[in-house]
Structure 1
Amino acid sequence: MKAEAWLFTGTALFFGATAVVYRLLSADPAGSSALCVSFLMSALVAAFLWRRHQRGGERPEDRDDAEVAEASGRRTFFPDRSYHPVLTAVGAALTALGVVQGLWLFLIGFGALASGILGFAFQNLDHPE
């Protein structure tokens, strides 16, 4: 996971630097917003991969001296129940309604959406293997 984490960290840094330079040299808010969202999405993936690497260590496929038998077996845990899909759906609906109805509803929806997405990304990290 370390190689993937470095790849997404580099991508996030590229989008972040590009967003800053683009914002300073251009008056286009749409391009700046798109670059900021790209930075945030790649930073989220990078943070997940770094946490996963800290928790799981090196994978057998990352090592040159690994054997095929080392990669067999259960590698992850999937929970039986999760409220994160419902929370994400409610957050997306409230965010979409908030665009029409007002900023207060948009902010409530964005908070629910952000917590649902972060819950999806990090719900398995504290499960002992």
Structure 2
Amino acid sequence: MRSEAWIFAMTTAFFVVVSPAYWFLTGDWTGTSALTMTTLLAGMVTVFLGFHARRMDPRPEDRKDGEIADGAGELGFFPPYSWWPLWCGLTLAVCVYAVALGAWWLFIIGVGIGAVALSGWIFEYYRGEHAH
């Protein structure tokens, strides 16, 4: 993770230079605010990756003597297919549509169904075929 931290550190440094330059050249509040928030976001990722790079053992790609075969094995847990994100997205679309129309009754229905869909997505590994 050390290399990723350096990449984000360089990105943060770039945005630290570009944000005030953009303000002086254009005087635009919107773009300056977006660049400032981008700077802060890149800095946050830099701090996170740098913190974890110090606490964990170096990965094979972080070592100079690392081989491709050192990275073999299980890469992690990847969840199987799930229909719950679809239902969460649809209920969010219904809620946004209801707010745009001013139909608060439809918004309340969307929040109710959305709570069920979000609960199903959160607890999908506690029941059924993929239960742990």
Paired residue for 2:31? 31
Contact 2:15 2:35 in 1 (8 A): yes
Percent of aligned pairs sharing the same letter:
37
Aligned residue for 1:41, secondary structure, equals helix
With normalisation by structure 1, the TM-score equals 0.50
Contact 2:60 2:70 in 1 (8 A): no
Paired residue for 2:7? 7
For the pair 1:46 / 2:43, whether they are aligned, the reply is no
Aligned residue for 1:42, secondary structure, equals helix
1:42 and 1:49 map into 2 onto residues whose CA distance is: 11
The offset of 1:25, in angstroms, is: 2.5
What are structure 1's unaligned runs of at least 5 residues? 76-129
The offset of 1:72, in angstroms, is: 4.3
1:64 to 1:28, Cα distance in 2 relative to 1, 3 A: same
2:70 and 2:28 map into 1 onto residues whose CA distance is: 54
Contact 1:61 1:71 in 2 (8 A): no
Q: Report the residue type matching 2:48 in the other structure.
A: F
The offset of 1:71, in angstroms, is: 5.5
1:5 and 1:71 map into 2 onto residues whose CA distance is: 23
Contact 1:60 1:71 in 2 (8 A): no
Paired residue for 1:18? 18
The offset of 1:26, in angstroms, is: 2.1
The offset of 1:65, in angstroms, is: 2.5
Aligned residue for 2:15, secondary structure, equals helix
The offset of 1:61, in angstroms, is: 2.1
Runs of 4+ off more than 6 Å: none
Alignment of 1:1-129 (within 5 A): 1-67=1-67, 68-69=69-70, 72=73
Contact 1:8 1:45 in 2 (8 A): yes
What are structure 2's unaligned runs of at least 5 residues? 77-132
Size of the aligned set, in residue pairs, is: 75
1:50 to 1:71, Cα distance in 2 relative to 1, 3 A: farther
1:29 to 1:70, Cα distance in 2 relative to 1, 3 A: closer
